Amino acid sequence: MQQLIAEEIVKLQPKWLLTLPSTLREGLFEDKGYVRVIKNKGRLILEPVRMLTYPVRSYTDEEVDEFFDLDDLESKQLKAKKLI
């Protein structure tokens, strides 16, 4: 799928504020949502960010490895029984 490139020129307001034209933000950003700003090789990249309203657990590398080991074991058992 090709992405269409949209371009607009906007004027910086006092205190470096700018308004993204609706033609650029519609369908990408939520009203009063959050935006990640990345500085990369002289460019600013804006990405929409979705904030979760509930806490998310972080897993250690060991827990992730344990999960994958268990998944591999279960997959082998199911294949041996010809269930997958």
pLDDT at 32: 86
pLDDT at 79: 94
Give the integer Cα–Cα distance in Å for 67 and 30: 35
Question: 70 to each of 29, 51, 78, 84, how far by Cα in Å?
Answer: 39, 31, 12, 16
pLDDT at 84: 87
pLDDT tens track, the chain, 84 positions:
667 788 899 999 999 999 999 988 888 888 888 999 999 999 999 999 988 889 999 999 999 999 999 999 999 999 999 988
Give the integer Cα–Cα distance in Å for 57 and 67: 15
Contact 57, 51 (CB under 8 A): no
pLDDT at 26: 87
For 73-78, which contacts have Cβ atoms below 8 Å and span 24 or more sequence positions? none
pLDDT at 2: 67
| DSSP run (H or E) holding 56 | none
